[in-house]
């Protein structure tokens, strides 16, 4: 049999980030939103280099010519080539499109040379009051110990020629480093408005303007910007010994001291200056990545707000949930019928209200919840603490290995512990990624189970920008099994940490069994495989079959091979994949029956849905799990069936909207292109806008 095709994971991710860049390039997107997409693109790329590129660099340093099918050196070259091309597009859209458009809107981005002379006193005064005290010039002397470069910090490097009383010794000049203090001052500083026009100067240019006052009497060369990204991968999944919480605390400091993974520098920087920096900091040639004049474009998130109309997306205030918002007691509405929340189109208030009512209700006896990424000002954790103070049994399972959220999770875990909440921490060999809450309530002398099952975190901030679904249910088939998931977590905590093969008999005996929920790591993969096998059998028998899958990432080789077999058997397959997609569609004899589309728009698509035709008795699951090896084998995940016919209909309607999107959907093909899905004669359909309008009509109707 011929070798099956797979896209490289990292190149596929870069293709996803290119779709983000497309949003910044799209003139139909409002101007300031385009700036935001540049910020998202930049932030995404920073994390990619800190984690994925750092991992490849480790492999290369270990002389691993090939690891898990990857040739690190060759792949790194492909990555840098792709990133260079994307950075050129980035710079072009910023310089040639967005800056002129900002000027037309009355906002001019100025630098140290183009700023109006009338603004000179303001620039000097602002520099003296807010910046000067935070500048610590450092000469990069040959053979001397260089300063430590802070991860993601912005630096200026310049050449200073000897002048006045300055003595540079035997050398005629010195190379000097300045850190731009973006933590103490905004990156973009508004200048006093003149004649109805607003000038904004980047902080780095404001410093350039005042360099002569920092080094009086010296002959200064141009100041060029650079920044360093450091390895952020803590490899906690491989650390099975000792107290995991202490390991996370100790490892957080490594984020700022990790080995370099990228030095981004201004492409106009003279070679001798770049080489000097490279040698001073013991960098390799492949650490160097050319960029434009400005770095850290993630700071565009904080670009000064403008009042001109049409520069932002029209507001889409979250709508109330038709049944929950009008319910006097939330538990009554949930008991009567399953209730589905569409986030961020509907208010997150009902999730907070679920916890608040549980905390205040005398009939509630216990609350269990899994917390993966907690908001900075978390109403959920505050409700849990109040419930504990009210004497209820409250247990929170806190995942402290949630990348880049460890510190916040640890903070809230400590606060909850002090308030009397029983806090359970990460399992040494697994991440708990499922998003569940379980409440027991005494009604008529008996315990009734209520549950919240979601595709997204209990996080008020992300609930405003991520599209997710949350199911509130009292269906015993689901709610009681959610309670068993917490029994499973208790069982796994008592294990020694040794690995157990997913799907094995021993794994199945690690805790309670599940009839309705598909629970990783021991049952999700085999249950999904069985559902796929059913579709294959139906297609081979000449009967209708089909699969629609919506995930963030499709990466697992075994499941992709299963999808290839299904396609070869004649199963029509529709895939909605936002990010990584290693499956190659449209390959003759392998994947001709598979279509892949990706939706990137105003909100971040985050929900996971699995739909199977299943002989006409459709099976529809919402899930916390992508189809990635880590989700199937190294995380506790839950996919849950939708039994309520009304909820089932809501979800299939949303799937249909997204599949027929002709505004934000891209078609993924065998060449990793991102062509928009715009078939001739098809009506204009923005699925996210249509989703919101449909929900708004349900409220008004």
Q: Is 342 a catalytic residue?
A: no
User: In three state form, how does the secondary structure of 352-397 look?
Assistant: HHHHHHHHHCCCEEEEEEEECCCCCCCHHHHHHHHHHHCCCEEEEE
- Alpha helices of 26-148 — where are they, by DSSP H? 31-48, 54-61, 72-92, 99-104, 120-126
C-alpha–C-alpha distance, residues 701 and 692, integer Å: 14
Which two tokens mark 191?
């200048």
Cβ-based neighbour number of residue 226 at 10 Å = 23
Place of tokens 């249910």: 473
Q: Are strands 224-230 and 154-161 parallel, antiparallel or unpaired?
A: antiparallel
Q: If 0-12 CB within 10 Å is exposed, 13-18 middle and 19+ buried, where does residue 93 land?
A: buried
Which two tokens mark 198?
């607003």
The answer to whether the CB of 608 falls within 8 A of the CB of 623 is: yes
Output b/e per residue, 550-586; b: 16+ Cβ within 10 A. Answer: bbbbbbbeebbebbbebbbbebbbbbbbbbbbbbbbb
Catalytic residue among 429, 433, 449, 691: 433
C-alpha–C-alpha distance, residues 215 and 165, integer Å: 11
Q: If 0-12 CB within 10 Å is exposed, 13-18 middle and 19+ buried, where does residue 1 land?
A: exposed
By C-alpha distance, which of 128, 141, 111, 291 is closest to 203?
A: 111
Q: Which residues contact 14 (CB under 8 A, 6 or more apart)?
A: 48, 79, 82, 83, 86
C-alpha–C-alpha distance, residues 654 and 468, integer Å: 12
C-alpha–C-alpha distance, residues 688 and 667, integer Å: 17
Farthest CA pair distance, the chain: 91
By C-alpha distance, which of 608, 659, 682, 660 is closest to 638?
A: 608
The answer to whether the CB of 381 falls within 8 A of the CB of 371 is: yes
Q: How far is CA 56 from CA 10, 448, 582, 640, in A?
A: 10, 51, 18, 36
Output b/e per residue, 623-640; b: 16+ Cβ within 10 A. Answer: bbbbbbbbbbbbbbbbbb
The answer to whether the CB of 638 falls within 8 A of the CB of 518 is: yes
3-state DSSP assignment of residue 532: helix
Please give the backbone phi and psi of residue 420, each rounded to the nearest 5 degrees, phi first. 100, 5
User: Active-site residue numbers?
Assistant: 433
């Amino acid at each position: 049999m011929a070798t099956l095709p797979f896209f490289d994971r990292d190149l596929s991710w870069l293709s996803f980030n290119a779709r983000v860049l497309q949003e910044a390039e799209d003139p139909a997107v409002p101007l300031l939103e385009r700036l935001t997409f540049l910020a998202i693109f930049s932030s995404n790329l920073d994390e990619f280099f800190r984690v994925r590129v750092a991992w490849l660099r480790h492999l290369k340093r270990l002389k691993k010519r090939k690891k898990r099918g990857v040739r690190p050196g060759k792949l790194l070259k492909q990555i840098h080539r792709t990133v260079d091309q994307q950075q050129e597009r980035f710079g072009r859209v910023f310089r040639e499109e967005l800056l002129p458009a900002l000027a037309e809107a009355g906002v001019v981005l100025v630098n140290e040379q183009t700023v109006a002379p009338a603004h000179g006193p303001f620039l000097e005064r602002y520099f003296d009051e807010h910046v000067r005290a935070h500048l610590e010039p450092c000469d990069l002397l040959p053979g001397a110990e260089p300063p430590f470069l802070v991860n993601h910090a912005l630096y200026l490097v310049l050449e200073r020629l000897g002048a006045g009383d300055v003595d540079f010794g035997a050398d005629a000049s010195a190379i000097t480093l300045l850190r731009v203090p973006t933590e103490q001052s905004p990156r973009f500083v508004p200048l006093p408005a003149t004649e109805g026009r607003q000038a904004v100067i980047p902080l780095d240019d404001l410093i350039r303007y005042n360099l002569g006052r920092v080094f009086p009497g010296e002959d200064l060369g141009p100041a060029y910007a650079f920044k360093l990204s450091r390895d952020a991968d803590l490899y906690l999944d491989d650390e099975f010994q000792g107290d995991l919480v202490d390991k996370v605390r100790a490892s957080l400091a490594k984020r700022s001291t990790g080995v370099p993974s990228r030095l981004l520098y201004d492409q106009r920087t003279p070679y001798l200056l770049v080489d000097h920096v490279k040698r001073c900091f013991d960098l390799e040639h492949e650490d160097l990545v050319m960029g434009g004049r400005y770095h850290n474009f993630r700071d565009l998130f904080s670009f000064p707000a403008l009042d001109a109309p049409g520069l932002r997306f029209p507001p889409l205030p979250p709508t109330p949930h038709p049944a929950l918002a009008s319910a006097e007691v939330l538990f009554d509405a949930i008991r009567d019928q399953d209730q589905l929340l569409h986030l961020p189109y509907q208010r997150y208030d009902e999730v907070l209200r679920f916890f608040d009512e549980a905390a205040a209700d005398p009939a509630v006896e216990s609350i269990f919840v899994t917390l993966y990424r907690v908001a900075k000002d978390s109403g959920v954790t505050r409700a849990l603490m109040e419930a504990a103070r009210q004497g209820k049994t409250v247990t929170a399972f806190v995942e402290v290995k949630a990348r880049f959220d460890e510190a916040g999770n640890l903070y809230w875990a400590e606060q909850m512990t002090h308030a009397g909440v029983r806090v359970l921490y990460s399992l040494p060999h697994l991440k708990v990624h499922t998003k569940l809450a379980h409440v027991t309530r005494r009604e008529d002398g008996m315990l009734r189970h209520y549950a919240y099952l979601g595709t997204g975190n209990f996080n008020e901030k992300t609930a405003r920008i991520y599209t997710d679904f949350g199911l509130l249910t009292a269906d015993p088939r689901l709610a009681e099994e959610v309670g068993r998931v917490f029994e499973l977590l208790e069982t796994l905590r008592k294990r020694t940490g040794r690995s157990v093969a997913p799907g094995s008999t021993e794994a199945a005996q690690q805790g309670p069994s599940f009839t309705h929920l598909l629970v990783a790591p021991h049952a999700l993969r085999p249950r999904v495989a069985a559902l796929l096998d059913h579709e294959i059998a139906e297609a081979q028998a000449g009967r209708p079959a089909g699969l629609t899958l919506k995930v963030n990432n499709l990466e697992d080789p075994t499941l992709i091979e299963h999808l290839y077999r299904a396609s070869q058997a004649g199963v029509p397959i529709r895939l909605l994949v936002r990010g990584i997609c290693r499956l190659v569609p449209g390959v003759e004899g392998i994947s001709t029956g598979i279509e892949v589309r990706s939706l990137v728009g105003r909100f971040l698509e985050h929900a996971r849905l699995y739909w199977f035709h299943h002989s006409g008795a459709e099976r529809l699951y919402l899930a916390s799990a992508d189809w990635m090896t880590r989700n199937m084998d190294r995380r506790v995940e839950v996919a849950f069936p939708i039994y309520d016919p009304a909820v089932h209909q809501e979800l299939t309607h949303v799937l249909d909207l997204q599949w027929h999107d002709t505004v934000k959907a891209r078609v993924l093909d065998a060449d990793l292109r991102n062509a928009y899905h715009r078939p001739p004669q098809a009506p204009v359909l923005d699925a996210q806008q249509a989703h919101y309008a449909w929900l708004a009509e349900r409220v008004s109707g």
